Structures are given as structure tokens and as C-alpha cells.
Structure 1
């Protein structure tokens, strides 16, 4: 059956508006479309393809596990899930793991656990969740309401209650919302969709202290910032602040759908049998692939190289900006970077993304004012150089056509 981009308009619900080209094959940090045109991938499937496309270790694991066992149900456990959970707990603050299919589902579990823990230990009045404007935690109704972007949650009827928002990186604003009713704070230790915002470490420590003072849980959404993307396995390790609950997805599966919620022994006891679940969560195929991703990513030589690659990006982007004067700043950390547009080009991030795509570079936006890069952690230096050369040509095209 022949399909094209036009087929999308015929058969798909119109909540997306994908690019004109249709990718059909990927290898490493390169992708080819139906016409055989090659692209360099700085998008990474929105910070998912942590090891690029078709990494040999993942392909091998997919084939091996695919010939053994794909799916059971949570009536049974399985070896890949247990091995992956053991590796995650050994490498982090956590004692216990819950597996889901996505970041949204991991966050849904985290929020439900925080509410249930508060109910078990402090009573039904302790139900308030504090979150942040411009935050993003998924598209379920609970997670999209906790996310601080009303455009994503408006228009679907009454929202879940007892959720309040304040400005990110503003400890006084957080303090003003806290009370004995607060059961949890949910935050990204680096905001992704909201514009690649790196917090002041003292702000994060201040939030941790407020949670401790008010017997509230601190939930870190590391769906985008985790699994090596900032040069540590998880970003909380760079901040010297331990959460009570942490969520992971995206890079965790390297392109295969899988999510995880990590927490402590004590807190985990509030998710007793029957209180929460997932049909596919923790299935052996997903967990085997995620274990293979973990084994590759959690090596010093991989994590240490992230800082080197970030430096290459920043040096070339500074050179481009000295020539074209389009960015106010380069934000982010590791292989999650944002080119924040200056006042002259505000609101035009999609124009730059589209122009880059036409030059053979796949990249992203984070809101209307930030062009986002989330490439593979192992992208070759020469692909960084060539990709940024293509990005520069895209910038030149936008400016020339103004």
C-alpha cells in the first residue's frame, strides 16, 4: 500500500500537523525520507532517541526478547522488569519502581501516589498539589491540569481540584502557596516544553526544605531531563537534591514506549494491590529494551562525553549568533538545549524549525520563542558540526526572506 503525507490528512485525527516529508529509515543520528533525502536528527523524537536510531544493542535485544516473551499481564512478574527495576534502584535514591507505558502515565501514578500517601498518613484534608506555570507533565486530564499551560487543559470540562500554580524559580511565590494542606510539589528540575529553563540550585533546595517543613512530597518529573541527558543519569544528581518520587520515560526506552515511577519503601506502601495498575506497564519486551538502554547510557564514558558535546553546540551557536544576531541566550544543559530568540524574532521559533528542516536538519521548538535540540547522547561530533551548518543555512534563509 502506497502512503504519503496526504494520507495523514485522509485518515488521521487532525490534532497533529506533521512535516511534509515522511521519514522511513534511521541509523545513528541520520534519517532518510520517502524520497531518499537525508536529515541529521537534533530532535531525537522529542528527547526519546537517546542512543539514536537502530542502535545495535537495542536491535539485538528487541530480536532476542521478541523471540522469547512479549507480554504477560501483572498477574505475573517477569525477569526483564525485575532486572531493570533492580538497576534503577541501585543507581538512584529509590527503593521501589512502578512501570507504565509513558511519561504521562508515570506522572499520573506519581500524583495518585502522593495523594494516597497524604490520605493514609495525614487525612483527607491534605490534598493540595503545587506546580509551576509553563510546566508540562503529560496529557491525561490530571497531568495536563497539573502542568502549568492552560491552553492544553482548557476546553474539556471541570478540571481536577486542589491544584495551584506559581512562577518557576521563584521561592517566595512557592512559599506563599504552602500550607499544612499541601501534599506535594511537582516540578521539572529543568523545564522542557516551557522553554528549556534551568533553575537556580538554591530554588530547588528551597522547595525541598519547604516540603520537609510541611510534610509534603517532592515529585521530580525527569521524563525529559533524565537518563543521561544532562551528563548525570538523572538531573537531581546535578542539583544535590533528592526527590521523594521521580518519574522517567522518553529516553528510558530509547524509542520503545516505557515509563517508570521511582520512590522510597515507605511512600510506595500507599499503592497497595488494586489501587493503581497498567495492562502493558512493565511488560517484558519494553523492559528488556529499557534495560539495554540503561546498560549503555549508565557508563562514565557516555555520560562524561555529554559535556564535551554540549560545549561543541554552544561554541558553534555562539559563532552563528555573532553573525546573525537572532538569539537572546542559549539555555539548557547537556543534550537538551534551547536557542531562545531575541525580541526581534520572538514568536518565530517554528519558522526557524521549518527552515532548518528544509536544509536537512530535524529539530524542535519549546513554545513559540525557543528552538530546541534534544539529540542522541552519542551523536558524532561531525554530525553536530554538519547539523549546525544546516541550521545556520536555515537561519540565513529566514533572515533573507524577511
Structure 2
């Protein structure tokens, strides 16, 4: 098609406009009479006709056109088909969340979700996980698509189409990796349990035997020594009971009861309890971009954050000026809380072990706090991570899905 552009002759318009005006002024200057008025009217009419003719007439010139529009369109279509084929052949199921409607994007998703496009009745846990996982983060969850619950890793990204933000998600099956990790965790747990139980039972058995012999064969002095031995046995038995109680708390952690949580009130309560418990440790609280309300289990979140604060207080307790920091910030449907201290920090050799249940470097520690905090974070579609940077002290980041 020949595309043309109109060009207005402004020079001609100016010339046509000036001629009748000059003529009218000349006539008026000649005399004021009926003939002069008639001549002026005629000139004005002629001027109007000329302007109308100029406005109707257009000079046109061709616009530059694409010499090969068909080839460019065909190349774009081939590129689009190639990208769609790559997506369709991806082994990872890809899904698109539009509001509360879930669509299967590629072949793997259509096969997994048993649909050709829109998922009629999506798993609420899957929809909640997609909506609650911020782009750039990954969470693990168990889903049942009809063949039994299996483990998946979920990653998300946001895309903008027609001014509307939608979320695309990818699922990767990690059932084999999760089973291997569970086997390693069980093996480590059994090693820890056997170590702790044997460490507790060995002196109990020895002291009990000694006390029995002293009571049976000894005199008054031996009786006093036997009583001291029995008191030691009682203390060791109490330590084993506390160890068993800590293990039971981890093993029986219930699923979170999701409700609306006032984060500002929760943080204020934690700060008040911390200052009462450790009045000699300076606590700094930063709550710049904290959402007023999030979704979560208030009791579990309180327990996890308190465990991290207690860990920080104990880590810096021997400093001349001990300091603990709690910073809270919300970002893209995620809540992130950083707890730090100015203690000695975590040795690089121990960084892979600190989240193991019952692992501790403290004489009176139970080794449960960090493991419990991570379990609670994972149940809230988040995680607890150790920030390994060059700053002094130790900082843990507790992140969890904040809901819509």
C-alpha cells in the first residue's frame, strides 16, 4: 500500500491572506462609500474562497516503507514458535497464576495437572505457595497429584502482560533428593541420640553402682559420699529428661495454624521480653517497612524468633558492650527478620552443622533453638539462613511468606 503524508503550503496561505487585507485597507483609504463597502465585501469573499481552496488542496509525498515486511513478520513468528516449543519441551511443569486462576503452560504441567489449560480445582496448598513465594526464592513442599504425596521445589517469577502482573511458577520433583536428605538426617540424628544417651547413662550407671556399694558396706562418712553420688545421678537423669523433652518438641511440632498476625505487636512483645530477660544487653529494633498484618502462626513465629534472639544474647554475653539487633522488613509477599549480635561469630568449619538438631557449642545449650526456628520457617514457606559476610558477629535471616 502507498502510504502518503499531507503537507500544508503555509507560504501560500500567508500570501493569500495578505493580499485581500492590503486591498481592503486601500479601498477604505480611498473613500468611505457604498462602492467601497461593496469592494471590501468582495475582497473578503475572495479571501475566504482562496483559504477554502488552500485548505482542500494537499501536496503529498510517499513515506518510507519497510522493503521486506513479509520476511520480518515471518522471522518473528518463527522465533515465537521456537520459544513456545522450548517451553513445551521443558521437563519442569510451568504454571501461570492469574489472580486465583491457575493455568498449565507447558506439556509437563498439563500432564501433571491433568488439564489442557485452566486447572478446574487446583490444590489450595499449591496456589498458596505460588502466591506466597517471592520471585528469586525457592521453597520445598509436598504435593499429591493423585499418585501419593511427593516432594517438589517451587520457584516463581512475575511477568507483566497488558499492564497486569501475573506469576509464573516452575515445579521440580525432588522426591529422591528429599529421601536421601531424610536418610542422612535420620543417620545424624541416631548418632546424636546414641552419643547423648550414652554420655548421660555411663556416669549414671557408674555412680549408682558406687552409691550402692557405699551404702551397703561403708560407714557414716561413706553414707555422705553415697548421698552426693545419688544427687549427681539425679542431676544427670534430669539432664536426660530435658534432652528427651527437647527431642519431643521437635518431633511433635504441629502444622502452623494460619491466622492474621500483627507483626508490629509481635516484635514489640519480643523486644519487651528480651530487655526484661537481658537488661545488660543493648537491643536495637528496626521496623522500617514492616506490613501491619501478615499470615502465620503467631505462637510458632514467636517461638522461632525468641530462639534466635536467645541465641544472639548468649553469643555476645561475654563482650564488654554486648549488642543485639532485630531488623524487620517486608518485600514482595515475604517477611524478612534479621537477628544479629556482636559476638565472636560462627567458625567456618561449623556453619554446616549449626542447624542440626542437638548440635551446640555451649556448655548449657540444648542444640534445639536453630533447628526449631528453621522447622517453623519451612512450615511457613520460608527458611532460616546464616548470613556469611565480612561483618563482625553473627546474623541469621528468618524469612517466611507473608500472604497476600
TM-score tier (shorter): under 0.3
Q: What's the TM-score, normalizing by structure 1?
A: 0.24
Q: Which is bigger in relative contact order (C-alpha 8 A, separation at least 6)?
A: 1
More helix by share: 2
More strand by share: 2
